[in-house]
Structure formats: structure tokens, C-alpha cells
Amino acid sequence: MRTIELANAILRQGSYTRAAAVSLAWRILNRYPERLREAAIDLARGGAPALQVNELSLEDVRDMAQVGSFEALELLEIMEEDPAAGDQLLMRLARHDGRGRP
């Protein structure tokens, strides 16, 4: 998938500016681990990837943080890279809405 194609899918599903969507698409295609990159491409094509990081699925993170799919994918990438920082960030987002980790 090309960067612009992924950026367009991100724009359709999220609350990104065009520049932010292009930047995220480039990061996904060039810096994300393969399984997260494949999940993003699946999302862009309308799929629902069965992805888990630290026992949390994409859907779990999306629901807890009240964000879209690509935002949840970004949080999962952080959780995979730095589990402690990712958990802390997710907890702050979830607490803001009065919920905690399942």
C-alpha cells in the first residue's frame, strides 16, 4: 500500500488533518513493526484485525480511550515499544472518561 492510500484511509476513519494523516501513514509503513503495519493496512481496507499487545486488543484500546481505530493502533504501538509508558498513557486516557483497565 502506498503512503497516500493509507493516509486517505486514516482521514476517512479518524480526526486527523491531512498532514497528520500523511505523517502517520509514513510512520506506519516505514517504522511500525510488521504485524502493526499489516493491521493498519487491514484497517485501511475495511477489515477488523485481530491484534493484541499486552493482552489488550485494538477494540479494547479503542473503547477504553474513546478513540478511533488508527488512534488505538498508535497507542498499541507505544505499548509494544514501551509497555510501562503505553499502559500509563492508556490509563490516563481511560480515567479521563471514568473507566479503568478491564
Residue 51 CA to residue 67 CA, distance in Å, equals: 16
Compute the mean pLDDT over every residue in the chain, rounded to the nearest whole number: 91
DSSP code of residue 3: H
Tell me the pLDDT tens digit for each residue of 37-80.
999 999 999 998 999 998 999 999 999 999 999 999 999 999 99
What local confidence, expressed as pLDDT, does residue 97 receive? Answer: 52
Instruction: Quote the crossing angle between the two packed helices 34-44 and 3-13, to the nearest 10°.
Output: 60
Alpha carbon distance 96, 31 (integer Å): 29
Q: Are 58 and 49 in contact (CB under 8 A)?
A: yes
Q: Say whether pLDDT at 31 is over 60.
A: yes
Task: Give percent above pLDDT 70 in the chain.
Answer: 93
Which residue matches cell numbers 491531512? 18
User: Any idea where the domains of the chain sit in the sequence?
Assistant: 3-96
Count CB neighbours of 9 within 10 A. 21
Query: Which residues share a beta bridge with 56?
Result: 53
Assign 14 a pLDDT band (cuts: 50, 70, 90).
confident
Backbone φ, ψ for residue 72 (5° rounding): -65, -40
Threshold 0.75, pTM exceeds: yes
